[in-house]
Amino acid sequence: MNAILNVLWLVLSGFWLAIGYLVAGIICCILIITIPFGLASFRIANYAFWPFGRTLTDRHGAGVASLLGNILWIIFAGSWLALTHLVTGILLCITIIGIPLGIANVKLVPVALVPLGREIVPVQR
C-alpha cells in the first residue's frame, strides 16, 4: 500500500515539493555559511519525494548548534514552510482520495519547521 501511495504522491505533489527543496538546498550550499540548512533541505527533499513508510526521529547527539540553527530556520523559512504544508494538507483532505496525501503533507510539517537534529527512518512494523 505504501508503494501505491508513494507513486500517487509523487505524481500529484511529491516531485514538485522535492524539486523545490533541492533548489533551496543548492542555493544554501552555494552561500557556504548556510551549508547546514542546505543539507537539511536535501534531507527534506528526500522525505518529500517518498514519504510513506518513513517517519522522523530525533537524532541523538544533536546539540546546541542544532538548536540555534533551528531557531534561525524557524524565523527565516521554517514557519512559512510548515504553514504551507499545513494549509495544503487541509485542502487535500477535502476530497476522499486526497486524505492520505493531506496526511503526508501534515507529516512534513515537523521536518519543515525544525529540520536540524532529526533523521528520517523507515517505519517499524
The pLDDT assigned to 124 comes to: 79
pLDDT at 102: 92
Give tens-digit pLDDT for 24-80. Answer: 999 999 999 999 999 999 999 999 888 888 888 888 887 888 899 999 999 988 899
Q: Tell me how far apart the alpha carbons of residues 61 and 70 are, in angstroms, rounded to a whole number.
A: 15
- Residue 14's pLDDT band (cuts 50, 70, 90): confident
Domain of 18 in residue numbering reads as: 2-122
How far apart CA 9 and CA 49 sit, in angstroms, is 8
First to last CA, the chain: 14
Helices (H) and strands (E) in the chain, counts: 6, 2
pLDDT at 58 (0 to 100): 86
**Count of structural domains, the chain:** 1
- Judged against a pLDDT cut of 80, whether residue 125 lies above it is answered with no
Q: What is the pLDDT of residues 78-104, one digit of tens each?
A: 899 899 999 989 998 998 988 989 998
Predicted local distance difference test score (pLDDT) of residue 31: 92
41 CB-near residues (< 8 Å, 6+ apart): 21, 22, 24, 25, 28, 115
Query: pLDDT at position 35, please?
Result: 92
